[in-house]
């Protein structure tokens, strides 16, 4: 049960609070599954787009909540970007600007009362360098009626809204430690250390209780407990302007999550199913089944990916990765032409100490290079060069054509965790290929618990 930092027995007012955080994802961590409750609700209205906004005395904790941590296989924040420097949009103006934009249409009703649906917030991931592809993250806005910020507690109010990135490539649900501290979340367990994709270890941490969870887009009189007993690992991971990550435990709590991709600029829609008939969906909608196995590190989902009609290669199914990434062996096997030299030397490091460093100026930063970027380089991790493909490549999974998209190529240390040796091909299958090309409506169903993907 969520902690009650206010005085027991005192009356509590309810207000909505949303903290805007700077700009995914953790790897190889365990998680205790939360209990999921289902209820059917009417069509969604658009959620607010920034993380933890307040009314009735909620505070803005931008200055307090600035997490740092190692880049990981889905995040690569240094390269794929985030929203750290983007000014927070006015909530009313944001709502007005998007009211007329359609959602990808969900069914108007549930045939068996065993799904709910909600909008997915689209967060842009800008291109890190000229000629490199941009992408997007998708997030779900959740509301925690029993939690409160420090400012709310002084006014005896509660009710906090948080945005979480949907990330099949994270083996844990994660909340940032500054968020856990601000909300005074109860510690309920220990999170062991894990490995990060760029070779830097993920630190150990606490498992904290967020408690009852609602869908934030619903009006107050229609809110219900979408999740009860929700807990998450409090870990520092790069996040694209959200409070945390909904990973494998969240996805595996449902029979299926059916995502309707919006062909325009509006938000996508997700249907969360307690029971899902995959055969009926394939017969009715022409969807095709893609086999998914849990043989990745920490039970992460693996699919067989082919590029440009080449041989099948092991790929991590990673909705938290805005852009699909191939290692060098995979790019060679698929005949991918690169926009820049993949073997360029890393930038020189400045002097780190000693007498010489007092008289020697650090070298200038490397000049921006079209189609290439260096990531990592912190915490003893060697910088890694990622290069964009010259052209879009055809990406398929288990024989099902997904999309023609530009990809990035580089030998991330995390690929070794997929069982790929030094010369073995491996792929990080990102959200760009899953959602399809721009302007294309698509339906994609994640049945990771049952070992399938429909597309």
Between 117 and 344, the more confident residue is 117
Out of 134-143, 162-171, 203-212, 325-334, pick the least confident.
Answer: 203-212
In angstroms, the CA 361 to CA 209 distance is 49
Between 184 and 342, the more confident residue is 184
| pLDDT of residue 139 exceeding 90 | yes
Find the mean pLDDT for residues 383-390.
90
| pLDDT of residue 94 exceeding 50 | no
pLDDT-based confidence at residue 379 (cuts at 50, 70, 90):
low
Question: What pLDDT, on the 0 to 100 scale, is given for residue 418?
Answer: 78
Find the mean pLDDT for residues 363-386.
71
Question: What pLDDT, on the 0 to 100 scale, is given for residue 348?
Answer: 57
Q: Helix %, strand %, coil % for the chain, to 5?
A: 15, 30, 55
For 412-430, the pLDDT digits (tens) are 877 887 777 778 999 999 9
> How much is the pTM?
0.76
| pLDDT of residue 169 exceeding 80 | yes
Question: What pLDDT, on the 0 to 100 scale, is given for residue 55?
Answer: 33
Between 438 and 245, the more confident residue is 245
- What CATH number belongs to 109-343+368-454? 2.40.70.10
In angstroms, the CA 343 to CA 328 distance is 10
Question: What pLDDT, on the 0 to 100 scale, is given for residue 369?
Answer: 78
Find the mean pLDDT for residues 332-344.
89
How many degrees, rounded to 5, is the angle at CA 307 between CA 303 and CA 310?
A: 100
Out of 194-203, 221-230, 277-286, 326-335, pick the least confident.
Answer: 194-203
In angstroms, the CA 325 to CA 420 distance is 14
Cβ distance 444 to 261 under 8 Å? yes
- At 14 the three-state DSSP class reads strand
| pLDDT of residue 335 exceeding 70 | yes
In angstroms, the CA 75 to CA 333 distance is 25
Find the mean pLDDT for residues 92-97.
32
Pick the closest to residue 438 from 97, 168, 124 (CA basis).
124
Find the mean pLDDT for residues 388-411.
95
Between 240 and 356, the more confident residue is 240
Cβ distance 323 to 375 under 8 Å? no
| pLDDT of residue 192 exceeding 80 | no
In angstroms, the CA 33 to CA 36 distance is 9
Question: What pLDDT, on the 0 to 100 scale, is given for residue 203?
Answer: 66
- Mean pLDDT of all residues belonging to the chain: 74
Phi, psi of 27 (to 5 degrees): -140, 150
| pLDDT of residue 370 exceeding 90 | no
Looking at residue 87, the DSSP 8-state letter turns out to be P
- β partners of residue 386: 373
Q: What percent of the chain has pLDDT over 70?
A: 65
């Amino acid at each position: 049960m969520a902690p009650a930092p206010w005085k027991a027995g005192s009356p509590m007012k309810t207000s909505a609070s949303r903290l805007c955080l700077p700009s995914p994802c953790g790897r190889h961590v365990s998680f205790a599954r939360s209990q999921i409750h289902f209820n059917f609700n009417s069509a969604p209205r658009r959620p607010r787009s920034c993380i933890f906004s307040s009314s009735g005395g909620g505070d803005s904790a931008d200055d307090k909540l600035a997490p740092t941590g190692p880049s990981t296989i889905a995040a690569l924040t240094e390269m794929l970007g985030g929203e750290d420097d983007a000014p927070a949009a006015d909530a009313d103006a944001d709502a007005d600007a998007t009211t007329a934009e359609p959602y990808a249409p969900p069914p108007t009703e549930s045939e068996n009362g065993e799904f709910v649906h909600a909008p997915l917030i689209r967060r842009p991931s800008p291109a890190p360098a000229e000629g490199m592809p941009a992408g997007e993250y998708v997030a779900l806005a959740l509301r925690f009626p029993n939690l409160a910020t420090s400012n709310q507690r002084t006014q005896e109010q509660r009710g906090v809204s948080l945005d979480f990135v949907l990330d099949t490539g994270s083996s844990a649900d994660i909340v940032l430690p500054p968020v856990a501290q601000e909300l005074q979340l109860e510690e309920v367990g220990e999170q062991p250390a894990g490995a990060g994709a760029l070779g830097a270890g993920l630190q150990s941490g606490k498992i904290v209780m967020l408690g009852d969870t609602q869908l934030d887009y619903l009006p107050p009189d229609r809110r219900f407990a979408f999740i009860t007993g929700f807990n998450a690992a409090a870990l520092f991971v790069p996040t694209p302007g959200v409070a945390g990550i909904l990973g494998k435990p969240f996805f595996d709590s449902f029979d299926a999550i059916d995502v309707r991709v919006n062909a325009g600029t509006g938000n996508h829609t997700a249907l969360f199913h307690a029971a899902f008939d995959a055969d009926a969906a394939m017969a009715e909608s022409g969807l095709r089944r893609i086999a998914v196995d849990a043989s990745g590190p920490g039970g992460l989902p693996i699919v067989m990916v082919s590029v440009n009609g080449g041989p099948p290669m092991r790929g991590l199914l990673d909705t938290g990765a805005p852009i699909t990434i191939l290692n060098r062996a995979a790019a060679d096997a698929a005949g991918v032409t690169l926009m820049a030299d993949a073997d360029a030397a890393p930038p020189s490091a400045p002097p780190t100490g000693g007498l010489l460093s007092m008289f020697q100026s650090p070298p200038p930063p490397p000049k921006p290079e079209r189609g290439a970027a260096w990531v990592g380089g912190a915490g003893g991790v060697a910088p890694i060069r990622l290069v964009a493909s010259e052209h879009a490549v055809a990406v398929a999974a288990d024989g099902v054509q997904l999309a023609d998209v530009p990809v990035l190529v580089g030998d991330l240390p995390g690929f070794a965790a997929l069982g790929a040796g030094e010369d073995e091909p491996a792929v990080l299958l990102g959200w760009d290929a899953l959602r399809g090309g721009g302007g294309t409506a698509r339906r994609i169903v994640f049945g990771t618990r049952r070992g399938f993907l429909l597309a």
